[in-house]
Amino acid sequence: MVRSTILRIGHRHDRDQRVTTHVGLTGRALGADGMYLAADDPGVIGSIEGVARRFGGSFFVENNVPWKRCIREFRESGGTVVHLTMYGLRIQDVIGEIRQQEKVLVIVGAEKVPGEIYGIADYNVAVTNQPHSEIAGLAVFLDQLYEGKELDLEFPDAEIAVLPCKCGKEMVER
Ligand SMILES: C[S@@+](CC[C@H](N)C(=O)[O-])C[C@H]1O[C@@H](n2cnc3c(N)ncnc32)[C@H](O)[C@@H]1O
């Protein structure tokens, strides 16, 4: 199955902490291996790592990653670079081809991404050609990539787990 890793670019320390944290948590929950953050924000990294430790699995986060080097090294190791943007090709037209790749680096921006990214990416992919959010775009992209199978993912070595419950909240500590 194709593996996915997120590259978060354009993160602004004071404005984007919550959204970037949610990009990481959404990626983790929906099957990505990890997230590279192209900014220096140890607080965001710590929040995501805390959730990953308590809820299990092997999601990684890396702080302060130079994005150009990240893209170059990912590609040199055989990966495919996907940039999520409202200006890209329709996801429903390209996801089948992307699913055939071995691993993909999924780039999501904040306010505005450097123009070069559009030329560097192997695929510029739109989740509709309407403006919305990186969290929504990433969630739909991963769900389309994994065709819903990510909903059954297991997260080994969790300290706590939620028990599905019709009403109320149930958790177990392990
Ligand atoms: C708030 S938007 C940025 C909007 C900005 N004007 C731009 O250059 O696209 C932040 C990020 O959300 C993602 N995004 C927003 N709308 C999208 C869409 N329709 N399809 C895919 N990704 C989208 C992109 O990764 C974008 O960099």
Query: Could you tell me the residue range of the domain that residue 21 belongs to?
Result: 3-173
The bridge status of strand 3-8 relative to strand 103-108 is parallel
Dihedral (CA of 154, 156, 160, 163) sign: positive
From residue 80, how far is each of 76, 77, 96, 97, 174 by CA, in Å?
Answer: 10, 9, 14, 11, 38
**Residue 7 labeled ligand binder:** no
CATH number of the structural domain spanning residue 43? 3.40.1280.10
User: Is 134 marked as binding a ligand?
Assistant: no
CB of 161 within 6 A of ligand 1: the answer is no
Interface ipTM: 0.94
- pLDDT per residue, tens digit, the chain (174 aa), is 999 999 999 999 999 999 999 999 999 999 999 999 999 999 999 999 999 999 999 999 999 999 999 999 999 999 999 999 999 999 999 999 999 999 999 999 998 899 999 999 999 999 999 999 999 999 999 999 999 999 999 999 999 999 999 999 999 998
**Cα–Cα distance for residue pair 28/32, rounded to 1 Å:** 5
Going by alpha carbons, the residue nearest to atom 9 of ligand 1 is 85
Instruction: Tell me if residue 52 falls in helix, strand or coil.
Output: helix
What is the tally of structural domains in the chain?
1
- Residue 108, ligand 1, Cβ within 6 A: yes
Please tell me the pTM assigned to this model.
0.96
